[in-house]
Amino acid sequence: MSSHRSSGRVSTRKVSLKNGVSNGKVALKNGVPLSLPPNPTVNLQWDEVKPLSGKPYEHHLLSSSNLHPRYHLMLAINLRSELPSIAVPTILTYKGKDWTMIYSGQSKQQILSNSGWKKFAVDNCLRVGDACIFELMECKDNKVIFEVQILRGDIPFSSELLENDLGLSPHNPIVLN
């Protein structure tokens, strides 16, 4: 099976790895293996987890309402009290990369802009069950900066979560203690 791309031919072929173990079919472009997309369920490397600095933070266990198709993220009440009550440019920083969006502090729900949050979520392959820690690094009336840590987790949903509809809407969040 093959398809044509503007910069070369893409095909699939069974390939053996250096240790002799086959990884099944691998996409090849002009005979060279293409890099695989990031796997968000790969074990977290401990050097990726940083201690918190002591500044205000919140943790958020992602549910379906935070991701596809709505991409809705309302910050926790304890953190909202630290933020301006106006619309303010906001930066999420993760692994040295920045995502710009608007924090809507003047709105009733006080959310991060859906388009900016969607870009962050998609770029970082966020899934239901992942947890994000938002640490407030800078807070001014003209700019807010959060340092984000992502903790990957294929957390199985218990019957209690399903029975109580926890995480299915922003009004019924899953709370981490």
Structural domain count, the chain: 2
| E strands, 41-175, in order | 57-61, 73-74, 87-94, 97-104, 111-112, 131-140, 143-151
39-43 mean pLDDT: 44
Check which CATH number belongs to the domain holding 138 and give it.
Answer: 2.40.330.10
Token pair of 164 as six digits: 């109580």
Give every CB contact of residue 33 below 8 A, 6+ residues apart in sequence: 15, 26, 27
In a domain, 175, yes or no: no
User: Domain for residue 97, yes or no?
Assistant: yes
pLDDT for 9 beyond 70? no
Residue 95 shares a structural domain with residue 136: yes
pLDDT, one tens digit per residue, over 143-166 is 999 999 999 986 555 556 556 666
CA 40, CA 166: separation in Å to the nearest integer? 23
Range(s) of the domain holding residue 130: 46-163
Residue written as token pair 């909202």: 80
Q: Picking from 16-25, 28-37, 80-89, which range would have the lowest pLDDT averaged per residue?
A: 16-25
Of 166, 167, 163, 135, the C-alpha closest to 62 is: 167
Same domain? 11 vs 77: no
The pTM of the full predicted model, rounded to 2 decimals, is 0.62
In a domain, residue 109? The reply is: yes
Within-domain flag for 172: no
155 domain-assigned? yes
Q: Which helix (H) or strand (E) holds 12?
A: strand 8-16
